[in-house]
Structure 1
Amino acid sequence: MLICPQCKFENPNSNKFCQNCGTSLTQKICPECGTGVAINAKQCQNCGAECGMVWLATIVKTPTEQITVSTRESSGDSLKETETTNSNELISSEQVVSWPLEVGYHLDSQQRYQLLENLPIWEEIEAKSEICVKVLDSQPYQISPLTAVLENISTKTNNAVLESERIPHIAKTYIALYPQVHYGIPLIHDAWQQGDMQVILLEDRSNWKQLLDLWSADTTTSFQILHFCHQMTVLWQILEPFNCCRSLLQLSNLKLDEDQAVALQKLYFEPVSQYINNVGVSSSVTERTNTTPVQNSPLKVQALGRVWQALFRQSQRTQVGAFVELLGDLEFGKIQTLKQLQLRLEDIGTQLQCSNNIASPTLLQVNDDMEEGEKMNEDSPTVTLPLHLISLEDAGVTDVGSQRDHNEDYFGIETKISKLELPRSGNVGARGLYILCDGMGGHAGGEVASKLAVDTLREYFQTHWTDSLPSEETILEAVSSANKAIYDVNQQEARSGIGRMGTTLVMLLIQDTDVAVVHVGDSRLYRLTRKRGFEQITVDHEVGQREIIRGVDPSIAYSRPDAYQLTQALGPRDDSFISPEVQFFEIEEDSLFLLVSDGLSDNNLLENHWQESLQPLLKSDASLHFGLRELIELANKYNGHDNITAVLIRSKVGTNVRC
């Protein structure tokens, strides 16, 4: 399918213009001079500006003992079954790349990705060798097969994708990290295996600023250096379970995004013991620091300290006293865990923030209601310490809609907030439970099921939620109790067929900056932040989405007459027929969460109107209640065929340091 660059509407591959907004799908606009440019052009023919979609291709030669071959269907929208063959067996010419490949040749059999750099002679390349080249995407509006799967992925389907032989080995770490949604980790765009060649395409970050360059700049303050260190510990925590921490040990791999946040150009996920030496830094660093490699040293947080030492050494920057002590304690093992390291960084941040040594270019994002443009100019970095919740607000509303005579939706909001104020610090402790259910089963059925689910869940967490966010097991037990409560009523009243009542569920749990979400059915959770934009967090449990996960093209999956039929709901059946999806994440910036029933989410209503209807609600002085009423009016105008329910939560985060 073709994704419209303007409104993100999904169009058939044959379309030349977007069916929704009329934007051209065969041309793009040059960002410099506004001239129309063919979508497969690398440069504007008028002004010469770079305007092509360029990806960074990582290519690995598969060992000759066994070759897994994966080709694509001619449609380009699905992955074909793989075959495994021994190296002495012939591989068909359709599966083998013609060599040599030079600038202008296509890397893939679909003639989509055009090489911008020459490749070495393949026969001369050793097995497991890795090559990185840039490629031009000649079909940038065409969704890739892998992207189509990832956009509809959940925790369980992610595991299924990782186990698939159709996915090249070198792509699986990126896919496993995809649910983390961290700006520092490069997103994977496409992946395939052709003959003995594995290929993955990543966002091209080669032109991003180097961390070392800003570390070396005279205008960079100690507080900014501290901020970089903390960001690297956050990335370390994410990468460690996937054996990717080596990615942080290559100085050339450490980049900065447009907000001057630490980001990685690519992942290094080979066994760490092959690359770590006695100072905990990879070979690219040891070459500059005259250290001797020692094999099989365990990778510990001390490795981060040695990378920071290398950054100080390379930048010829003087270390302040607090950093000298920190690096010394790391080197001599006084800091053993990542948590200890993060606490030390926070302590140093408190000292720096409350001193008079903070240079003017550094800005700390604090709890105020200034507009983003008032807080910083275009080139000023946002420097943050570990974040704390500073406010939590919410509102909910339900409406019968314009075509129904009764309301089967129901919602519940339950919050507990405590506030701490000290001379130099302050933060909010909060616990929020937000539940939305869309009932089914007709009058005296759907509304009973939705209310029963909300009441059961509220009662459950009143006794099973203590001082920390409930575990996945606890959350699943809560959902099971709600399902059983409705199921038992169905059994007692001998309801059958479509007369059995049930309900969808989407539930959000917030404990300070920790978040959990669980859902069953097609009620959704969305998230809006300034950095990530508007995102759908949950994936509907319906036939169409089930088929997409199985590899069916979305246009085919949703042409089925039963495409929107639910595959899961609470109540109609016992626990063996439900499989709730549970996700956990942290609030890393000011966020707006929106729980909705399908009366509001149908027909891409929110995707098409979030900028004018939701984005203003990120501001502290915007009324959530007023915003909800406008959403209800919008839904009645464009949808109205169903009940409409929404719950809005606005969370603000910042540091707890004040001077």
Structure 2
Amino acid sequence: MLICPQCEFENPEANKFCQNCGSSLTHKACHDCGTKVLFNAATCHNCGTFTGTVWWAIVRGTSPINTPATSETTTPVYLDRQQRYQIIESQPRQGRANSLWQGRVLDNYPLQKVNEQDSQLPDITEPYLHLRSSFIQTLPLVHNSWEAEGQSYLLLEDRSQWQLLSDIWGSPEISLSQVLYWLEEIALLWEALTPWQYCQSLLEVGNLHLDEDQALSLQCLYPDPKPEEESPQPSLVDLGKTLLSLSPPSPLASVNQILEELVAGEIISIVALQNRLATLNQESGFSESMDEARDSENFDDFDDFDDFDEEIEELTVEDDLLFSESDTFIQAEKTRVSTNYNNDRGSDDAPTVVLPMQLLSLDDAGYTDIGQQRDHNEDNFGIQVKIEKQEHPLGKNLKARGLYILCDGMGGHAAGEVASSLAVDTLKRYFSEKWQEQMPNTEVIKEGIIFANQVLYDINQQKSSSGSGRMGTTLSMMLLQDNNVAIAHVGDSRVYRVTRKGGLEQLTTDHEVGQREIRRGVEPDIAYSRPDAYQLTQALGPRDTDFIKPDVRLLDINEDTLFVLCSDGLSDNDLLEKNWESYLTPLLSSRANLSQGVSRLIEFANEQNGHDNITVLLVRVKVQPVFEQQQMF
């Protein structure tokens, strides 16, 4: 099978074009001159630029690896019997009893689906698969792995051409805040790698790279010496020596002092190292605590629930139900409560260096699909983004403003389509007028939602619609200005976020009977045993403004974050909660294509759900510390 590089659809090997999106399966554009070249071509025939797909190969075993004698060798040498992976560069390690061969290999069939191995994956693969969800930016992606003739083979994302940490470690332009950022990552990695016995990975200077966001990145993992090798195990003393050996050394005296304390054995644990980094961070003027940051993110929302509950109590059961979902095929329950999945990244008690953040990049993608069982699409969405970029010798400053709106219409016939489309257009016009220099505050956002509701409600009144004939729509919306975000919603269209440290978190709580009962103190199992548990308590359009209580939540973005806005065609059956690590976590990487990610989600939702329209908006926000020119001598 051939995997489409655009939408990742699996195609028969005879196909020249993807039968899903129409992209070419034979040619791609040279990234230098734009000429069409074969996917398996090593170089562009027009300009000579290298265009091949390269992997970093690791082979563990005792048998020798045949490698090209010179770079000019004409007879190709392959890593595998199928002659897919051609060796183009060899970098064997020296002086290790369990020597690992390493090198770069050219993929001669880059679109070919990797054959799934019948046997268990080699244990050399295990630490990558286990740790990458917590260190997705730091650890390389695993492409393929297999065992043959007593040897273990592992192919990784090739990072050998990335910038080395040692190249800029001693630069006078690197600020203290940047170095603290790297040291904190190294400390977290050391703690995570210790039980796996791979701390040697941080002692190899040539293994410490930086990605395009200046984030620490490893080419691979090096195992610690085995006991029979009679070599000392890696220690924090060795870590201090390694970092002090970087040439030129850091001009920051305060950093060198910490490294010298490591070498002297005065810092004997990772927690002690993190304490020293946190102290230096505070002394340098960045005193915001992680607890304060988390509190401001997680406990500033839904301050109007008391008023809402009082108003809801006055409603009769009949009035409380906006519409019946009997026309919607729902096989399983939706998520009943907001869930926060946490990955383990070090000790919870260990201090973390928290730096003021600024926007580094903003990417987004959106798509809507009719689904497998509907004859028309009542979902709608809108994206409006404005980005201003300034570049200078020390980097770039990015200013951005983004409005993301998703609506899931209802009402029968074409009413749902009209409602969702009109709500999106109304909100876009509203914020084009109200959004000036600063991001709108909570009240302005709520007023915009209430205004959109009034527009739909007035049309319903004019048409004298009643019951299920009254058009309406759910709403999930995100406003972004730099690294500040506002989340607003009405109904059951959700907003999630994914971060490396926090995993998947649902940021909205569905406006439905089951959730209303839970807020009243009813046990979740009892609340969702009601036949009307999934009927909405709020939506835009069916009722006047007295019955609309939009929820608005304000957030600061302090780490790279992927936001997901989706209709229930995607979120039903806990689809994201069960599969976020496979479908969302990889999209945190700058190299991941969000359009492809949306396509994969839509395809997967059609396979697993498919009973409703499916709409997804993905917003990837990357941030970096505010690197001021501070020299601590």
TM-score, normalising length from structure 1? 0.47
TM-score computed with the length of structure 2 as normaliser? 0.49
**Larger RCO (CA under 8 A, 6+ residues apart):** 2
